[in-house]
Amino acid sequence: MSRVTVRDLEVRVDLINRTLGTDYDLNNAPHYGGWQLTSDNGSHVVQHRVSPKEMKSYLDGLVWGITATRNAGVK
């Protein structure tokens, strides 16, 4: 598996935000454990701090779930 870049994560979050109409944001603090996904300007944690590869997997899962439900006709 190749190195996960900030851009890799941002592209996925942007897709999720556009598709769901959400305002998720990424926050990185390596000294606290890595990346976290937040909403409401950081006041709500959606996914607690994980490594870049774990965050990419989490975001890929969200994108897959969105795609699967859209393809199944679920709104």
Q: Where are the domains of the chain?
A: 6-69
Above 70 in pLDDT, residue 15? Answer: yes
Above 70 in pLDDT, residue 11? Answer: yes
Answer whether 0.95 is exceeded by the pTM.
no
d(Cα 42, Cα 38) in Å, to the nearest integer? 5
Above 70 in pLDDT, residue 75? Answer: no
pLDDT-based confidence at residue 2 (cuts at 50, 70, 90): confident
> Given this model, what pLDDT does residue 1 score?
60
Could you tell me which residues come within 8 angstroms of residue 30 by beta carbon, excluding any fewer than 6 positions away?
A: none
